[in-house]
Amino acid sequence: MANTQITAARQGIVTPAMEAVAKKEGLSPEIVRQRVAKGTIAIPCNRLHTSISPTGVGEGLTTKINVNLGISRDCQSYELEQQKVNTAVALKADAIMDLSSYGKTREFRKWIVETCPAMLGTVPIYDAVGFLEKDLRDITAEDFLRVVETHAKDGVDFMTIHAGINRKTAQRFKDNPRKTKIVSRGGSLLFTWMELTGQENPFYEYYDKVMDILGEYDVTISLGDACRPGCIADASDPSQLEELITLGELTKRAWDKEVQVMVEGPGHMPLNQISANMMLEKRLCHNAPFYVLGPLVTDIAPGYDHITSAIGGAIAAATGADFLCYVTPAEHLRLPDEDDMKEGIMAARIAAHAGDIAKGIPGASDWDDQMSDARQALDWDKQFELCIDPEKAKKYRASSSPALHDSCSMCGNMCAMRNMNRIMSGEDVTLLK
């Protein structure tokens, strides 16, 4: 029997997690409860995640950001990934997705649960081969469900599960060739497993059993988009839309089991398609919280994909996305290091905030108004205090000190702020001294 935030919300109970989210967002606990009951807000919060600070994703809330990290066969430093978790939390990431696929995966996962206040997400299929010590073709449906249950017992708050790529969706993909085929790692593994075994996707075939596991621990299902476009040419194609329809059906089935839901989305997508895709997801998936990777708006910028992602992410957030997965400059090239991670987090936070301003989240523009006041007053200390990245702002100013303390080295005595303040207060303005 499920014992989740939805269970409580439908019984009229405001849980401590709902209280915490309401306080963070400046909303009444009753509004949060109502939206959790409807499924338009999710609070991923496994009851075994002892160190978590509950965070909400969805209707009327600030746009959240996620940071991907984890141990791989080629980059096995457990300690480096621990440091990246700590840095991500310090930089105000809302969620950590542990995508570890090699080595001490369970030890790392448990350490995050014990120490990290951010939401923790995983993709169980990434862990399956190493955890089970079986090759892909030898893994059974029961094996896949056992990995899901292990992650739930370990305290994971949300799991990406690619239940929408069933045999029907796979056939749609085969009938409509793509430039970049299936680029989702989890989606490609499940497609390959189905091709090797001739069986249905176990996460789709045994979806009710998956819901029973997640409901027991209050794990939110993040319905993975196996057919997300991997290049702008594949955006909004039949495979993506076929899967999205299935994800909408699976959303309702999860809610019927009182399991919280998020739905994942694109991917690579031209600017002019983003808004329509956000609205389509909300329509087909019944206003469930939408979690997007990017979208990346062009394919030509390896090394700068935190920028291509932030451009798309801002538009997505402004038109309906609730949760942005960050992208780093290392995307498509290598595992990101700590510097890459910081660049990705800052780009995603800027995109999320820009989206919040556009969609009228109460209080979102207050921060900008305070910065504008500090700039007009030429109050550099206040500006640094308000910066999204104070360290970088201070470094830039210190690297080129101006002759006039109330200006900068770009404008000097032609500073518009400085001269307007003086002339409007009746002071003399001279440019030759």
Spatial neighbors of 404 by CB under 8 A, at least 6 apart, are 412, 413, 415, 418
Residue 184 labelled as part of a binding site: yes
Residue 309: the pLDDT is 98
Residue 433: the pLDDT is 64
Locate 58 and state its tokens.
């969805």
Alpha-carbon gap, residue 366 to 357, rounded angstroms: 9
Residue 352: the pLDDT is 98
Cis? peptide before 202, omega within 30° of 0: no
Residue 332 labelled as part of a binding site: yes
Q: How many CA atoms lie within 13 A of 264 on its CB side?
A: 28
Residue 277 labelled as part of a binding site: no
Residue 51 labelled as part of a binding site: no
Torsion on CA atoms 198, 201, 202, 205, rounded to nearest 10 = -100
Alpha-carbon gap, residue 138 to 109, rounded angstroms: 25
Residue 231 labelled as part of a binding site: no
Residue 186 labelled as part of a binding site: yes
Q: In degrees rounded to 5, what are phi and psi of residue 223?
A: -70, 105
Strand extents, DSSP E, 12-142: 41-42, 57-58, 64-69, 95-98, 119-122
Residue 173 burial (CB count, 10 A): 23
User: Which alpha helices (H) appear in 39-123, and where do they start and end?
Assistant: 78-90, 105-115
Alpha-carbon gap, residue 312 to 268, rounded angstroms: 9
Mind listing the domains of the chain with CATH numbers?
44-358 (3.20.20.540)
Residue 47 labelled as part of a binding site: no
Measuring CA to CA, which residue among 328, 364, 374, 360 is closest to residue 347?
Answer: 328
Average pLDDT across each block of 10 residues of the chain; the chain has 433 residues. List them in order.
Answer: 92 98 98 98 96 98 96 78 94 95 84 96 91 91 96 98 97 97 96 97 98 98 98 98 98 98 97 98 98 97 98 98 98 93 98 98 96 93 95 90 76 86 88 74
- For 375, counting Cβ atoms within 10 Å of its Cβ (0-12 exposed, 13-18 middle, 19+ buried), the class is middle
CA angle 40–254–225, rounded 5-degree value: 80
- For 430, counting Cβ atoms within 10 Å of its Cβ (0-12 exposed, 13-18 middle, 19+ buried), the class is exposed
> In DSSP terms, which residues pair with 122 in a beta bridge?
98, 159
Alpha-carbon gap, residue 33 to 40, rounded angstroms: 10
Residue 228 labelled as part of a binding site: yes
Q: Tokens 């109970």 — which residue? A: 13
Alpha-carbon gap, residue 239 to 242, rounded angstroms: 5
CB 293 within 8 A of CB 317: no
Measuring CA to CA, which residue among 144, 148, 165, 146 is closest to residue 264?
Answer: 165
Residue 97 labelled as part of a binding site: yes
Residue 97: the pLDDT is 97
Residue 268 labelled as part of a binding site: yes
Residue 222 labelled as part of a binding site: no
Q: Tokens 């299935």 — which residue? A: 246
DSSP 8-state symbol, 403: S
Residue 285 labelled as part of a binding site: no
Residue 1: the pLDDT is 63
Strand extents, DSSP E, 308-369: 323-325
Strands 64-69 and 290-293, by their bridges, are unpaired
